[in-house]
Amino acid sequence: MASSPQALERCHARAARLRADARSMRYSYPVLLAGLALALLVAGLIALGSGSFPLPLVDVLRLLAAQLGAPPPDLPASAETVLWQIRGPRVLAALAVGAALAASGTALQSVFRNPLAAPDLLGVSAGSAVGAVLGIFLGWAIWAIQAAAFVGGLAAVAVVYAIGTALPLRDRTLSLVLVGIAVGSMLGSVVALVKTLADPYTQLPAITFWLLGSFASIGQADLAGLALCAIAGLIPLLLMRWRADALMLSDDEVRALGVGLPLLRLSLVVGATLLTAATVAAAGIIGWIGLVVPHAARLLVGASFPRLLPVAMLLGALLMLVIDTVGRSIGQAELPPGVLTALIGAPVLFVLMLRRRDD
């Protein structure tokens, strides 16, 4: 075990490197944030006009301007219905889900010091899947299914954390990962069992559709619930963002700095779990966003958590919005976002890994 002076010396050296990276990003970082925000705005306007009922960009702008006090445009009532009742909540939900998954992946990769950590590492996606699948199987209302998915995700992580901290292993991080894999596998078998017992003509298609993710049924009430839960999950990440950089150090070095390691890890895990459970409850299981986007963000701004988190959230929101827009625009039938994220995420992750090796 390293002595405290040696640990402090290494801490100061790494902190100096982080400060040097921050100084190098002093001017480009605000430009990057502004560029991503502009890209989100453009993508949002395109998404509002895209779909089976296309709206020209000028009509979208006129409808938006009417909400700000401009004269109402001479457009069919169906155009306003499509924009405000269908596409508006859907676009906002895609932005919220993408940002939440990216934030969750960023936090978990910092906690576990593992670039392959993803929002479903601790079994939250599997737990949410069990709750939703059981709700569909039992014929519950949509709000009850979403509530069951949210509670199932939180319960799964609670079980993983309780068992992982009780195991007689010195490495708590390894304990949580191993228990998370085991619990996730067990819950996956429960989902498979329910699918086997489900009615193949009514329940099974609904279960399969939900497991692939979808924004098709998002309404204003769903959006409000998603926003509240996502904000609740984001608060611990924001409060701990300056301390999160300490997780790049070894446990001994973190203790030498006087940082409460258990509280820091627990706060980030709780925040990531709330974010993931909220997204799964609202839109189903959508993978790869929380795994790939933090990699891309680190290539742009480095590993410092306070700078990494906003960029990852903007990138995640942008990627999720583009995927949803493409999925409902390229064919007669809507493609589930979970399918497109897997098709895009795997090769993108491979390219990012090659890029990091070259760097």
pLDDT of 1: 41
| pLDDT tens-digit readout, 207-234 | 998 888 999 888 888 899 999 999 999 9
Query: Whose CA is closest to 126, among 95, 93, 157, 105?
Result: 157
Higher pLDDT, 279 or 117: 279
Of 8-12, 54-58, 125-129, 134-138, the poorest mean pLDDT is in 8-12
Q: What is the mean pLDDT of residues 312-337?
A: 92
Separation CA 344–CA 348 (nearest Å): 6
pLDDT of 4: 53
Q: Give yes or no for residue 2 having a pLDDT over 50.
A: no
pLDDT of 21: 56
pLDDT of 187: 95
Q: Which structural domains are found in the chain, ordered by start?
A: 4-358 (1.10.3470.10)
pLDDT of 326: 93
Tell if the pTM clears 0.75, that is, is over it: yes
Q: Give yes or no for residue 352 having a pLDDT over 80.
A: no
